A and B are shown apart, each in its own frame.
Chain A
Amino acid sequence: MAQSNAHNLVEYKAGRMVLLGKMVEPDDRKGLLFVRRSADDNQLHIHWMDRRSGSVELDIVATPGVLEFRRIDQCKTGRVYVLKYTRSTQRYFFWMQELQADGDALFCQRVNELIASGERQRDEIAAAEGDMDTDADHTTARRGFGGSENPQILEEMLVETQATWLPANRSLNHWQTGDAMEEPPLPFADPDANTDTDTDTYTSESGIQTFDLAAVLRLHGAEAVDKVLSCPSRREKLMAQLPKDHEAMDEQSDILEHLHSAQFYESLSSFSVGLHSGALRKSLEPLLQSDDNREALNAAQVGDVERFLRELERNDGDYGGPTD
């Protein structure tokens, strides 16, 4: 079983599909498609894991310019994506198993961003060497149990593969009498290797741009958060706003654990909704008390999210560079 000590950068429930002759057929197993940076070679790897057995069957080095992840429109009976090499015919097909289909396009976009960012990530890590706290992530050794569907094994897998930002929704779980969370798509003919497919895009109806702040931070905020957390005094201020935990190992991992948790993401989503609706001003007043923040409060009053964020950035007079 391939393992590394890296956190998953992004992950998604997806099953495999296999090419049999000229037909692509679904594999019924429940799987997880995830991207992580290997501690060994510092490269991005795309993995597929059988969620039941925990075995990682695919380990693909994500070289920029060589790999891309696309939706296959030819298959109409399901949500099928292909991980393909631009210079060879080798492809890996996946059918999406998340219940909400609207996450598919975001995941696809994120995977492609990560593939494209492979080189830049390496440079940034080299530049940051020596500045960051390094935390060894000790993956729990997986224990064996008798039952083939032991829920404890499943719990362990879910804990170990907790995504960097994607929220785990624990409010409700979806059951079906069979094992599959979604019906797998029907087999379809292998699409032409040269067929071009449109990538999904979102467009604003009225042309007015709005933000889902929670999703924006989730997708684009990880690097910025790491930068904030690299400064001990900033970590201390953030820690002051979190519940005391006597078992916390260290500040940075404790903060990250909160940021990755389902409960925080729900709060952030609620915050985002409240900010849009203008309902947050009363709650924000005690937290943004200085005169510098009056404009930010006014923006919150009318639900102007972009202006609110701009005002928070404008008040950076005391910041002259990295300070410890």
Chain B
Amino acid sequence: MDTENPGAATVEELTTKEATAANNWCLIESDPGVFTEMISGFGCTGAEVEEIWSIKADAFRHLEPIHGLIFLFKWLDDKPAGRVVTDRSDIFFARQVIPNACATQALLCLLLNLQHEDIDLGQTLTDLRNLCQDLDPECRGHRLANEEKIRKVHNSFARPELFVVEESTDFIEDDCYHFVGFMPIKGKLFELDGMHEGPIELADIDQQQNWLDVVRPIIEARMERYSVGEIHFNLMALVSDRQRCYERKIQMLVNLPSQLSHADRQAEIANLRSHVRHEKEKKRRYRKENIRRRHNYLPFIVELLKQLGETGQLMAICDKAKDRSYLCKPSKDTRDQQPQ
């Protein structure tokens, strides 16, 4: 993984109590494991999020069908890149009315506009969609902000609070990072950005066209523009659950007649089974990482330092550091690392 620039803020927050108590929404880390677990937390099955490392055409192929894209960037108050649509009641769109909700909101806009046999929204999201059917985007945003189940899932990723940050006079305002969604809806490409008044219609998608071929130059242009200003961004794809897809293919090969010879069929089944094992390992890793994200490591750190001290090694470590003239620069490091 890449390290971040010293000046860049991280998209995360340490304040659990504050977020929950004041109906606040915590910042969300841009990570496929986080988003995948949010989907599951909403009660939705059959969908997951994958990180996209390249937008070259063949880099996408193994992930299809790709239902939508989630794009994270440092927010600029831009004019919309297309026509803002305000008269489409068949598109679910909600204005973002609360800070830090854009990650969940971008994800929900994709899920609630999605109709695919692979994906079951579940009761919570189905109810939410029905509730919001006749509301305008602003009211939907407020409805969403008050949806306890959704906020609870979102805030479950708040970072544990190691200590209370006293407000200081030299507070530096963080960069604001923003999530938006892209997806095809009824033959057109839309950008779903809660900071605007409606979905943004970007392009037509021809009958024979893959929507990814339509969105790719738009994403590329945006990336190019942002990279000029050294703005960080990240791209993730909403996809069908990979493990289920592979398992379904195995079932078809086992149970249905096919054109393949017996040997070819067995080879393909073995290949698919190795894919399934990989997906299971990935889910296991996501689970572990999410456990770590929520864990308060303070008692562990103190216990570790105590034991290093009890075994007489703590000062030796520090002396080694001094001998090598390794010293930090307090003001710079403090500013870079100061949790918000």
Contact = CB atoms under 8 A, between A and B. Distances in A.
Q: Do A and B bind each other?
A: yes
Interface in A3-44: 13
- In this complex, which of A151, A152, A283 has the most chain B Cβ atoms within 10 angstroms of its Cβ? A151
Nearest to A234: B307
A228 B51 contact: no
Task: Return the 9 tightest CB-CB contacts between A and B, nearest first.
Answer: A212-B328, A312-B309, A263-B292, A267-B297, A241-B300, A224-B313, A313-B309, A171-B10, A216-B321
Interface of B: 1-6, 8, 10-12, 14, 29-31, 50-54, 56, 58-59, 61-62, 72, 160, 162-166, 177, 220, 223-224, 227, 232-235, 274-275, 278, 281-282, 284-285, 288-289, 291-318, 320-322, 324-330, 333-334, 337-339
A224 B163 contact: no
Nearest to B297: A267
A140 B72 CA distance: 31
Interface residues of A, number: 97
Interface stretch (A56-64, A124-132, A188-196, A199-207): A199-207
Nearest to A265: B297
B289 A263 contact: yes
B303 to A, nearest CB: 5
Nearest to A171: B10
Contact of A173 (B165, B234, B294, B310): B234
Contact of A273 (B52, B160, B177, B337): B337
Interface in A77-97: none
Contact of A174 (B2, B31, B162): B2
Nearest to A143: B274
Contacts of A324: none
B146 to A, nearest CB: 28
B227 to A, nearest CB: 5
Contact of A172 (B4, B220, B227, B301): B4
A313 B312 contact: yes
19 contacts: A99-B4, A99-B5, A100-B3, A102-B6, A147-B59, A171-B11, A172-B8, A175-B227, A205-B329, A219-B321, A224-B316, A258-B300, A267-B298, A273-B339, A274-B163, A283-B163, A309-B305, A312-B306, A319-B312
A177 B164 contact: no
A204 to B, nearest CB: 5
B311 A319 contact: yes
A169 B49 CA distance: 19
B163 A280 contact: yes
A144 to B, nearest CB: 9
A146 B296 CA distance: 41
Interface in A242-277: 242-243, 245, 247, 257-258, 261-264, 267-274, 276-277
Nearest to B321: A216
A220 B50 contact: no
Contacts of A201: 325
- In this complex, which of A155, A173, A202, A212 has the most chain B Cβ atoms within 10 angstroms of its Cβ? A173
